[in-house]
Amino acid sequence: MKTLKSEQIIIKGISGSPGICIGKAYIVDKEGVDLIKRYWITDAQVTKEIDRFKNAVAKAKSDHARIIDSLDEDLSENLNILETHMVLFKDKMLYGKTIDTISNEKINAEWALKKVSRKVKAMFKEIDDKYLQTRVNDIVQVSDKIMSYLVGAQDIKISDINKRVILVAHDLSPADASQIQLERIKGFVTDRGGKDSHTSIVAKSLKIPSVFGLGRATNVVKNDDILIVDGSSGTLIINPYENTLFEYEDRMTRFAEYMAGLERESHLPAVTKDGIPLNLMANIELVEEVVGAKDYGATDIGLFRTEFLYLDLKRFPTEDELLYKYKELIELMNPHSVTIRTLDINGDKVNPYLTTVEEANPALGLRAVRFCLENQDIFITQFKAIFRAAAFGNIKLLIPMISCVEEIIQVKQVMNKAVLELEDENKVFNKDIPLGAMIEVPSAVMIAEHLAEQVDFFSIGTNDLIQYSLAIDRGNRQVAHLYQALNPAVLKMIKMTYDAAKKKDIDLIMCGEMAGDPINIPVLVGMGLTNFSMNSASIPVVKRMIRNLDTTKAKNSLKKIMTLNSVQEILELILKEYKEILPFTETDENI
């Protein structure tokens, strides 16, 4: 689609994180690697095309050599991987064959490279050798790197961007997003991405507006275009007309005032209108977020997602490194509790230094506790650090993605091994800490009563529970409209979990993003839930809702809600019954 500079373009996407920002576009163009086009070249162009390819290889290789040189010596495992890549740049299979394909088939270098790397990938996959199969990742990474130079889309390091801009990216991984420097980046938008993805969770904790799932933003936006990002309604406006600009500047001011008003109330207790105290806790990814979480009025840390430490370091941390971080966190929170969730990698949080087998369905693959049970040394290291940190404060332990009782039993066996090692090593530790299971897979809901016999508490992870119950990929914009927290099936799952926890007398909290949206609060409070953990930026708005809510009314509404059979009807009922006290809806035009 061609655009004129003066033309205002509006693209609707998915709200990633609320707020409005206005600024210049800065394209972090990773899309070239995905959207390769084929075109034919003439005989006379072949040499030039091959030179273009060789040039891209040379640049990619020298960039790679620079990374190897800058690597710490103790990262020898990474060094091996990178050195393997160095050889692959000039490997006959990739390099030689691409040159042959350009000259034999008279096609552009990008298409030739894509074709060859696909073939190599297919060939490796057929070899019945696990080690060789894992090498397929190396080939993909090397050919992606060359491709990015070919299409002029070499990776821009987000942490190096030094202008006040709005990022426009094809896709941003949670690790990319966590590199964002707040004083530089005003907001960001992406072509891909869905609701409650991990990238959106990071954006919310950074408190910058973002819109995902725009589909074609990187095609339409050019560097330095003026953009308006309306994260609350999921809208991107490119080169706005003057009156649109004025309108949004005004809305931006009102949004800031609204947030400031909410924040001023954040020290007030989370007590319903009829006097029932609730517990509002924060979900965090980094220790640095603790101060913000406290400012927003979080009592405890209800979910510490530990994987970001592993993603940022780009290697597996040592026991002492983990201990240092956990200790820092619990000392900052003392005497309040910190729920440490064990490593939840893979799915959409793939560790760049992990050469695992490529999975067709990573969300259904070797993710979270499944990965940890297969890689027990990593798991033991984490448990040891957690038990050691527990000697200094109030820690709870949470295991993600539990899908059967056997898993939790195996987890306990690994915990015992960690304890034995700590005893052998004469280290100070405390193993008597509450153990919780995340309820985020439908099977866990179905067997909640059995699971409850194995653990001290449940934490409902609705981000994944919605994904897995409704078969909606959290990161896929095509199905984002079907990702609905108020789906009757999801509500039934939550109710079943609540009933099981109550029957077995164990604690229950909800730590999915569902708890952070005020519209869901009457339903959750009506069910009887009292402990919520959320992105800390959501606490003030949820607290305002709670302080205006009557639990008897919520219980009555819930009775009606549980008889309704569509999201639309449920939404209508909540909007009707709670219109007066709903702080705002994501698409509220007044903000």
DSSP 8-state secondary structure symbol assigned to residue 289? G
Q: Give the dihedral sign, CA 545/196/313/337.
A: positive
180 binds, among Mg ion, ligand PEP, none (CB under 5 to 8 A by kind): none
When CB distances are held under 5 to 8 angstroms depending on the partner's kind, the choice from ligand PEP, Mg ion, none that residue 178 binds is none
CB 461 to Mg ion: min, Å: 4
- Cβ proximity to Mg ion: between 120 and 309 the closer is 309
Which C-beta is closer to ligand PEP: that of 218 or that of 462? Answer: 462
Minimum separation from the CB atom of position 345 to ligand PEP (A): 10
* DSSP secondary structure code for residue 482 in this structure: G
Cβ closer to ligand PEP: 171 or 569?
Answer: 171
Q: Which is nearer to ligand PEP, 262 or 511 (CB)?
A: 511
- 325's contact among ligand PEP, Mg ion, none, with CB below 5 to 8 A by partner kind, is none
Which amino acid is located at 200 in the chain? S
Our CB check for ligand PEP shows the closer of 41 and 399 to be: 399
* Residue 438: CB minimum distance to ligand PEP, A: 7
- Closer residue to ligand PEP in complex, CB, 407/464: 464
Nearer to ligand PEP, 138 or 464 (CB): 464
The alpha carbons of the chain give a radius of gyration, in whole angstroms, of 25
Give least dist CB 580 to ligand PEP, A: 30
The continuous run of DSSP H or E covering 370 comes out as helix 368-374
Residue 196 Cβ, how far from Mg ion at the closest point, in Å?
Answer: 9
Q: What would the two tokens of residue 45 be?
A: 């162009």
Q: Which residues contact 538 (CB under 8 A, 6 or more apart)?
A: 204, 513, 515, 516, 517
What's the closest the beta carbon of residue 305 comes to Mg ion, in angstroms? Answer: 9
The minimum distance between CB 310 and ligand PEP, in angstroms, equals 13
| CB nearer to ligand PEP: pick between 116 and 202 | 202
Residue 472, classed as helix, strand or coil, is: coil
What whole-number distance in Å separates Cα of residue 119 and Cα of residue 138? 14
Q: For residue 311, which of 349, 275, 284, 338 has the smallest C-alpha distance?
A: 349
Helix 46-69 × helix 76-89 angle, to 10° = 170
198 is catalytic: yes
> Which residues of the shown chain bind Mg ion in the complex (CB under 5 A)?
440, 461, 464
- Smallest gap, in angstroms, from Cβ of residue 454 to ligand PEP? 20
326/401 Cα distance (integer angstroms): 22
Q: If you ran DSSP here, which 8-state letter would residue 226 be given?
A: E
DSSP bridge partners of 532:
280, 510
Binding residues (CB under 6 A) for ligand PEP: these are 201, 303, 305, 344, 440, 461-464, 511-512
Residue nearest to Mg ion (CB): 464
Element (H, E) at 56: helix 46-69
Residue, CB closest to ligand PEP: 461
Distance of CA 260 to the CA centre of its chain: 27
Q: Which helix (H) or strand (E) segment is 16 a member of?
A: strand 14-17
Sheet holding 14-17, edge to edge: 9-12, 235-238, 226-230, 20-28, 165-169, 185-190, 210-212, 14-17
> Which CB, 228 or 523, lies closer to ligand PEP?
523
Q: What is the DSSP letter of 489?
A: H
Containing 405, the helix (H) or strand (E) segment is helix 405-424
* CA distance linking residue 477 with residue 469, whole number of Å: 17
Q: Which two three-digit tokens encode residue 24?
A: 């210049």
| Residue 462 interface partner, choices ligand PEP, Mg ion, none, CB cut-off 5-8 Å depending on type | ligand PEP
| Residue 536, token pair as written in the block | 């800390």
401: left (phi over 0), alpha (psi -120 to 50) or beta: left
Angle at 315 between CA 313 and CA 320, to 5 degrees: 75
Instruction: Kindly tell me which of 95 and 468 has the beta carbon lying closer to ligand PEP.
Output: 468
State in angstroms the smallest separation of the CB of 75 from ligand PEP. Answer: 27
Answer left, alpha or beta for residue 20, where phi above 0 means left and psi between -120 and 50 means alpha. Answer: beta
Dist CA 427 CA 319 (whole Å): 12
Cα(169)–Cα(161) distance, integer angstroms: 13
How far, in whole angstroms, is CA 56 from its chain's centroid? 32
Please, which residue, 534 or 546, has the CB nearer to ligand PEP? 534
* Shortest distance (Å) from residue 465 CB to ligand PEP: 7
Give the C-alpha separation, 441 to 443, whole Å. 5
Q: Tell me the backbone φ, ψ of residue 393, rounded to 5 degrees.
A: 180, -165
Longest distance between any two alpha carbons in the chain, whole Å:
82
- CB 44 to ligand PEP: min, Å: 54
Identify the residue whose tokens are 């030689």.
96
Between CA 62 and CA 71, with CA 68 as vertex, the angle to 5 degrees is 145
DSSP 453: T
Catalytic residue among 198, 267, 372, 481: 198
Q: What positions carry a catalytic annotation?
A: 198, 511
